[in-house]
Amino acid sequence: MNTSFAITDFPDSLSPMVVKELRQGLRTRLFAGVLLTLHLMLVLLTLMSGGAENATVVSGWFDGIVTLVLCIIMPLRGFSAVADELKSGTLDMLALTRLSAGRIIFGKWAAIASQSLLLMLSILPYVVARFVFGGLDLFGEIAALFYKWLAGVVIAAVIVALSTQRQFWLRAVVVFLPLLMIGGCSAFSFMVMTRMGSSTTSGSMFTVFTKSGGASSALLVVGMAAWAIFFFLSLAATRIAPSASLLSVVKRSVHFVMILSLLLLGWLTGSGADMGMIAAGVLTLLMMDALTERVNEVPSVYAAFYQRGWLGRVALWLLAPGWVTGLLYSVLLVALVAVYVGWTRSVEEAKLVVVSACGTWMIAALVQLFSTRKSRDLLPPFIIFWLFVNVVIAILSVPLMASASMRSATAWFTCALPQFLSSGYKTAQAGDKAALLQLGMLTASIWPALLLISAVFAWRHARGARQEGWRMVHAVKGGTAV
């Protein structure tokens, strides 16, 4: 009697979106070509590493090739991951399969991360061989390889998030501009340029990357990477999610817990100053996400808050989808981080955190002041305005700051824009720093004020949807929603 066995390449418990993307990705010529080329080059480099006289050069080439594959080539596979689905109209068909926007985006990213993991594991034998031939630090080499893979999957999440934009030129500028300016990108520059032509050992590189080389630092790096992946994937899911989605509740709650965790960790470990600046650094990302959501006019969204009583009505002002509530949410985060920075570092640095936040509010205000506020997605105009403002500042700041520095004068013109003030404050004369900061905060506050005025009109425009949501919950007409 013949017994047939069902042979499957993936378990049924795995997400169908992940399986679909993995099957397509593993069958492409690009993956096969990268895998074959990588191993041919690593075999040659491993054989060359037997000589002590060229160990440094070979080590630099080895790390450079591995980093190129894990941190650039593999993440770039997600460049058009969602854009192709949008252009071909297949995204609607995927939605009919009852897959949520989050699962679709996660499947796109997980396929790239899994292929990168497969490549990373295939490199391990060469790491062991180099350890045998050259006496390198094995654990340091493995740690370096892991952090390169981790950086690669974070970059992949960024690129998948950008792939939700239909404009090819916009995606190309945002993705390839950092590659051209790679020296100014701290984490990415480190992963790409580390040990290229240098004699630094893997162990010391691991120590630099984790600051102390301890388990707590490593956990912090992994935790921040996990949050970054969640941030960019949720940012992408928001772009393709239906209007009735409550994804903003989940992601804003997670972001708020992350900020609180950083501040609490800094307080418990005695590194509050460093953690406060890390939290201030991620504020721009959180504000960009919250301020680029369309104002929601679906009554069921507001009904979900109203049916939870007074607590839900309070949460509505901070967690409901839309940039109006995102403005209040960003104000809460900025106030929290600014107070913490003022407590752990100085009041002046806390004021600079507020001014930096005003720079982000300025971009959001420009989006609302022009016709771009009617865009289907506010993220593209936000990115365009951000690029334009920063390019103009980069062009103007060099000669203006050089002229002020040569005359040993305070650059008072830096008060004009919030993005200017930080560099102007650092180079200002000691007696002018306080006045410059006060004047800068005064001019910077104009932008959140303009944004608040726009928010009032947008909130009133959505009043009908809130009232309908109120009536859906209370089943009576004439209810008045806040």
- Write out pLDDT tens, residues 121-176: 999 988 888 777 766 778 888 888 999 999 999 999 999 999 988 888 888 888 77
Residue type, 266: G
Q: How confident is the prediction for the chain on average, in pLDDT? A: 82
What is the Cα 16 distance to its own chain's centre? 26
Q: What is the pLDDT of residues 329-366, one digit of tens each?
A: 999 999 999 999 999 888 999 999 999 999 999 999 99
Q: What is the pLDDT of residues 244-293, one digit of tens each?
A: 889 999 999 999 999 999 999 888 887 777 888 888 889 999 999 999 99
What's the rounded mean pLDDT across residues 437-458? 93
Report the C-alpha gap between 361 and 148 in whole angstroms. 34
The pLDDT assigned to 11 comes to 64
Q: Is the confidence at residue 200, as pLDDT, over 90?
A: no
Q: Is the confidence at residue 450, as pLDDT, over 70?
A: yes
Tell me how far CA of residue 198 lies from CA of 45, 72, 193, 259, in angstroms: 17, 21, 10, 36
**Collapsing DSSP states into helix, strand and coil, what is residue 298?**
coil
Residue 60 pLDDT level (bands cut at 50, 70, 90): confident
What's the rounded mean pLDDT across residues 196-221? 51
Residue 54 pLDDT level (bands cut at 50, 70, 90): low
The pLDDT assigned to 10 comes to 65
Report the C-alpha gap between 209 and 201 in whole angstroms. 13
* Residue closest to 460 by CA, chosen among 258, 349, 332, 324: 324
The pLDDT assigned to 322 comes to 92
The pLDDT assigned to 74 comes to 92
Looking only at Cα atoms, what is the longest distance across the chain?
96
Residue 105's contacts (CB-CB under 8 Å, 6 or more residues apart) are 82, 160, 233, 236, 237, 240
The pLDDT assigned to 13 comes to 64
What percent of the chain shows pLDDT beyond 70?
85
Q: What is the pLDDT of residues 295-325, one digit of tens each?
A: 888 899 999 999 988 899 999 999 999 999 9
Residue type, 333: L
* Residue closest to 294 by CA, chosen among 359, 241, 356: 241
